[in-house]
A = this chain, B = another copy of it.
Amino acid sequence: MTISSTSLNDVDIAAVAALASAVSADPAKAATRWKADVTWLGGFRTEAAVRDFEPLASDEPLGLGGTDTAPNPVEQVLAALGNCLAVGYAANATARGIPLDSLRIEVSGPLDLHSFLGLRPGHAGFSEISAVVHLESPAPAADVEALHQHVLTTSPVGHTLQSALPVAVSLAG
């Protein structure tokens, strides 16, 4: 495969290739750890600090007892999935020499509030999540479909959501 330009899709595919090479040479380099540090601000307002970035604000709608100053946590999950899928399309399109004219992803999911409200035991989260991908490219439809299938097999947030992940929440001593 020849990559015609490292600026295709404005993606620094050389950096991705360099990381892949480095990981191939030393698999330990693939072991990453990610963090977020959340501070409660009162009510349902919180902010999540990630590295040195401006903290991300979170709140709940008025009907859920919040002050509606920011997206709520379940919306943030949908945003994270869409953002992750977009990175997957951009990275793999570039690696395959496929130019992207535009890319937009609508993510949505139903959530029954009974468990969150304590009215019924059981699953309090999304019952499913759907994403509809609007991808414009001059590439043949078969190439876009192959790209799409590849992205589904390599999405960190997609796989995180699709697996029954161990989540350990503990009170500090």
Contact = CB atoms under 8 A, between A and B. Distances in A.
- Contact residues of A: prevailing secondary structure: mixed
A20 B119 contact: yes
A135 to B, nearest CB: 6
Given A65-B11, A71-B56, A106-B37, A111 B32 contact: yes
B10 A131 contact: no
A44 B125 contact: no
Interface string A22-35: 01100101111111
A146 to B, nearest CB: 11
Contacts of A111: 32-34, 156
A63 to B, nearest CB: 6
